[in-house]
Homo-oligomer: A and B are copies of this chain.
């Protein structure tokens, strides 16, 4: 099953929504796609956007204003949901675990492992789905916000052959050392912290020699800055291991989509430089 369920004109392109059967997740998934008109004459590069806790595929599409720049630059935006969904999919009475909070890992533990395979979904099935469904070329970037910023950085570091560049707004930079990350990783992967290390951008920067260009934007009025996000740990790991990370702090900005909207043009231009 692969169905176009909505298409609306937006700037010089179409804001679409698809529903498809995700075999990796054993459920149906919705994916939002922005398709610039340039795609009518040539295949285009794609930017995958991973959203944060409690979001689905619509928050970024409705609130970031990214279509304007994607239309100008000729970038296809591919925005998956943040977890498997639906009846029969395990859930938790929490904003930071279960549906809406897949953390972009492949769960090994019960009751999650039957559906929560978000790393495989994003890096394998969704890439293949895009090639089958959309006029994409073979250039890809990955970006995200908060939990999705964690996803973008870790997936790019683990799968560098897939992405030319990675960026994040307000990422959960060091999830093995923060409450959101520890709760989710222990639930999805088990209690042994050794099992979490491959899903922490700071740790991945130590273990892999990364050449992928990365950009992070972080608001300094973000209420989660110290307890959950810890961008300084990421900055330090990149410095120690000489990874190309451009870290940008912004006075006064918080964790909301008002921050994302304010700098999405900058991030998309960053990716466009490498995707050309």
Q: Which residues of A contact B (CB under 8 A)?
A: 8-11, 15, 62-63, 65, 67-68, 219, 221, 250-254, 256-259, 261-262
Contacts and interface: CB of A to CB of B under 8 A. Distances in A.
Q: Which of A9, A10, A259 has the largest count of B CB atoms less than 10 A from its CB? A: A9
B9 A65 contact: no
* Number of copies of this chain that the complex holds: 2
Contacts of A11: 261-262
Closest CB pairs A-B (n = 7): A65-B65, A10-B258, A9-B252, A9-B253, A8-B258, A11-B262, A62-B63
Nearest to A251: B9
B219 A9 contact: yes
Given A9-B254, A62-B62, A68-B262, 15 more contacts: A8-B253, A8-B256, A8-B258, A8-B259, A9-B250, A9-B252, A9-B262, A10-B258, A10-B259, A62-B63, A63-B63, A65-B65, A65-B261, A67-B258, A68-B261
Contact of A65 (B8, B68, B252, B256): B68
A62 B62 CA distance: 8
